[in-house]
Structure 1
């Protein structure tokens, strides 16, 4: 056997050993993200958006512009006489969107009549009642037997439209935000920003943020970027945070400007390009709402707002159970003080007595420990 043949045989042996070692060291959990991705895409995604604001602020136009659809094609505008005693109602629209194989079931909850009546004192009640009802329905389904087919109708984000003609937030705006900020993610939007100059938009944003801070209202907070994120994503995150509240312009009309078709509004002095960052924050709002923070809005709804509601429900159920238990004990006593206690009641009473004894023993031990600590400190001082 020549030296060249020996080298080839030896190399082949080492290659085989390394392949075996490589197979032995490979477990396979690196494919978990791909598995989750395939499962999520197959199941699809749900997102519920509540839109709140008075009529005439362009809410419907903005929603159609954001999702490139027509959710309100059959809507009829009410007359002025109908608005004198008009109340806030809930109008829900659902549409299925598919993009690159990813399916999204979008639900838009509109609140026609909000702020349109002369007395807007209770305009917020319908909004809070709807959000609580969706939480309550989800809690009931989650506590039931058929947990696999739970339909998530919880409100993940609330776009609150502020009119551009005010100098800051109105009392009606503050009252609604105070009652919603612990139930839903609030994103403040300045409507029809093309009616304001750049300096006016900047001043209005500052006043709105000051009112929010002074009234201790918690609007949606952007999560902090991880240290391993690339610089481009960090810059995008800084720009999004700097735009809050978003001053937007919506339009579903395609215009031709300098040989290029744009979505915008035609004015005597020129064209407002909705997707031009210098004209509007529309693109940044769409980026935040759809591209970058949609999942975070859902996570905050699940981990913060729904958990708070769930904790309140469990606390109420526990208190109700204790009251029923006390009532059962009182009912088990006869009129002459004689007890008519069943075996189950007797066991419950024994358990209560054991818990009381354990609490007394724990309190005594804590007092002894405090006394010994005091004695030890006095010895050290001497």
Structure 2
């Protein structure tokens, strides 16, 4: 990378700062700066622990607290008399939820037993092939705080036919649960915003139009910051409450869930072996579209959806949280009401 494109902030400094925040406990982060389509991007990848059915209620408090802590950072900055230039946009723009194919198969077996009336005491209720007490509960709780992309992991452990079946079953389960993971990305169809969203919209546009700087001492601007979080439960997708009335033509096509496979950590230690998993019968390559959808996932999140993910985080997720937060702290303030119309009398 040319000298003028070197990171503007020491990576150790960013990662150390992230680790010290109480809300980030239990999460590990990796920060890097790169260039995508001519735009300088400061990218923070967060990795979290997996969720367990028996304690998911407790774990979800930490998840929502982590997501909302990023909104809290933005609100604190907005409340300052003099705002800091080049402040980082720490919102979690995209969350990748990993679905274990073994868990999905267990859910399929539980659904079959329930249909036959031979359910076990350990079986959880399922919607399609998604665990209602884990997968669906996680989605309902996280809805409205980030955009979630469902991904089936361990693609190298199932056959192509099996993977095709799981993908269709997951997609059908999402529709059955009335969940559209990427509905929020259709921002062009949204014509209802809160008053606070409309007031702040111009400022956000100005930030997005700012040119990237080559000053090594400058921090990435909000328009140049992209953040992703990774969870590892057998969960799926998410939708926005503010876009439930979008037209049927905007529903997400059958590209979800993506499938991925992870490289062998033992081969990575050697340093000379290619990234992937080598078996006696062949090599599983995460960069081969025939083996998994890693390249599609990467292209979608960092290229096709990048602007929409940031806009959704700022215009919808953050503004909805901000309105709720301010109303909660001001119990005497009247809630905003929509104007009603009555014949010739006009607005009342």
Residue 153 of structure 1 pairs with residue 90 of structure 2: yes
- 1:151 is paired with a residue whose SS is coil
**Of 106, 110, 130, which residue of structure 2 is paired with 1:169?**
130
Query: Structure 2 vs 1, CA of residues 170 and 368 (structure 1 numbering), >3 Å: closer, same or farther?
Result: closer
The count of aligned residue pairs is: 230
Greater C-alpha Rg:
1
Q: For 1:253-264, what aligned pairs fall within 5 Å after superposition? A: 262-264=274-276
**Of 302, 305, 312, which residue of structure 2 is paired with 1:300?**
312
**Of 135, 147, 160, which residue of structure 1 is paired with 2:71?**
135
What per-residue deviation string (whole Å, max 9, x for no partner) do you get for residues 63-86 of structure 1?
A: xxxxxxxx9xxxxxxxxxxxxxxx
Query: Structure 2 vs 1, CA of residues 307 and 91 (structure 1 numbering), >3 Å: closer, same or farther?
Result: same
Partners of 2:47 and 2:277 lie apart in 1 by 24
What per-residue deviation string (whole Å, max 9, x for no partner) do you get for residues 198-235 of structure 1?
A: 22111111221222222233422485799xxxxxxxxx
**Of 205, 212, 225, which residue of structure 1 is paired with 2:167?**
205
How far the C-alpha of 1:107 sits from its partner, in A, is 1.6
2:297 is aligned to 285
Structure scoring higher RCO (CA < 8 A, sep ≥ 6) equals 2
- 1:93 is paired with a residue whose SS is strand
2:287 is aligned to 275
Residue 194 of structure 1 pairs with residue 156 of structure 2: yes
Q: TM-score, normalised by structure 2?
A: 0.56
Query: Structure 2 vs 1, CA of residues 296 and 140 (structure 1 numbering), >3 Å: closer, same or farther?
Result: same
Q: TM-score, normalised by structure 1?
A: 0.52
What per-residue deviation string (whole Å, max 9, x for no partner) do you get for residues 30-55 of structure 1?
A: xxxxxxxxxxx99989xxxxxxxxxx
Question: More displaced, 214-223 or 296-305?
Answer: 214-223
How far the C-alpha of 1:130 sits from its partner, in A, is 1.0
Supply the RMSD in Å over aligned alpha carbons.
Answer: 3.8
- The runs of 5 or more residues in structure 2 that have no matched partner are 10-14, 16-23, 106-128, 189-251, 268-272
Contact 1:91 1:112 in 2 (8 A): yes
- The runs of 5 or more residues in structure 1 that have no matched partner are 1-40, 46-70, 72-87, 227-239, 256-260, 324-362, 371-382
Query: Structure 2 vs 1, CA of residues 138 and 268 (structure 1 numbering), >3 Å: closer, same or farther?
Result: same
Contact 1:250 1:282 in 2 (8 A): no
What per-residue deviation string (whole Å, max 9, x for no partner) do you get for residues 248-278 of structure 1?
A: 11226799xxxxx853211121111211111
Partners of 1:369 and 1:225 lie apart in 2 by 34
Partners of 1:181 and 1:321 lie apart in 2 by 26
Partners of 2:296 and 2:344 lie apart in 1 by 63
